[in-house]
Chain A
Amino acid sequence: AIQLTQSPSSLSASVGDRVTITCRASQGISSALAWYQQKPGKAPKLLIYDASSLESGVPSRFSGSGSGTDFTLTISSLQPEDFATYYCQQFNNYLTFGPGTKVDIK
C-alpha cells in the first residue's frame, strides 16, 4: 500500500505569511494527488486535485505542485480563515490520506 507522509505535522504562522506543506509518497504516484482543508468539526474541503489543479471557488493564494513522490501545497499569503488542518490524498493505487498538517496562529 502507498503511504503518505506530511511535513511538518504542525506549524504556527502569522496572517500574511507564506506557508508551504510537503507531502511525500512511498512510491511514485505521478500526479494522482489531492489536497483538502479541514476545520474543526467540519468535513474536509477539496482545494487541489491532480497535484496542481485548483478546485473551482478556491482562492488563488492556494497552489499545488509536484509529481512522482514529492508534492507541495503553498498558501501564498495566509488569511485568518486558512487556519485549519490540511491533508493530502493519493489516488494512484487505491486511496490513502496523509497524516495531516495543522496550521495555527502564531
Chain B
Amino acid sequence: QITLKESGPTLVKPTQTLTLTCTFSGFSLSTSGVGVGWIRQPPGKALEWLALIYWDDDKRYSPSLKSRLTITKDTSKNQVVLTMTNMDPVDTATYYCAHRGYSSLGWFDPWGQGTLVTVSS
C-alpha cells in the first residue's frame, strides 16, 4: 500500500522560505519511472501543479513558479522536499504531494492528505 504524508510549518511570514517534506512508504524513488510531485490548492480554488522529481533525479517545475521552487529527494529516507522562496499571502494553500507510478505518463495516484500553509505576518 502506497502512502504519502506532507509535513512542515502551518504558518509562515511573507518573504520567508517554505520548506515542506513528503514522507512516503510502499514504493521506492529509486525504481525506474517513479516520481513524486507537489500540487497546491488555495482555499476554495483549483489545483495547481508545482514540481515533480523522478527516480533518476530529473526535475520539472511549473514555468510560472520555477524561479521560486526547488525539489530534492532523499531516497534512503523515502522523502521528497520542496522549498518555495519569497512566500506571499497568495501562496496560502493546502500543499499535497503525490505518487507518479512507473506506468504513469503524468497522472498522480495516490495523493497525501495535504497540509495547509498560511502566509501571514
Chain A residues engaging chain B, CB cutoff 8 angstroms: 1, 32, 34, 36, 38, 42-46, 49-50, 55, 87, 89-92, 94-100
Contact = CB atoms under 8 A, between A and B. Distances in A.
A46 B106 contact: no
A16 B109 CA distance: 28
6 contacts: A1-B64, A42-B113, A43-B98, A45-B109, A92-B106, A97-B47
Given A95-B37, A95-B52, A34 B60 contact: no
B49 A94 contact: yes
Nearest to A87: B47
Interface residues of B, number: 24
Interface in B63-118: 63-64, 96, 98, 104-114
Contact of B107 (A46, A96, A99): A46
Interface of B: 37, 39, 46-49, 52, 60, 62-64, 96, 98, 104-114
Given A32-B106, A91-B106, A99 B113 contact: no
Contacts of B111: 43-45
A19 B44 CA distance: 23
Nearest to B52: A95
Nearest to B96: A43
Contacts of B39: 97
B106 A34 contact: yes
Contact of A98 (B37, B46, B52, B98): B46
Q: Which of A44, A50, A92, A94 has most chain B Cβ within 10 Å?
A: A44
Contacts of A42: 113
B104 A49 contact: yes
A68 to B, nearest CB: 16
Contacts of B60: 94-95
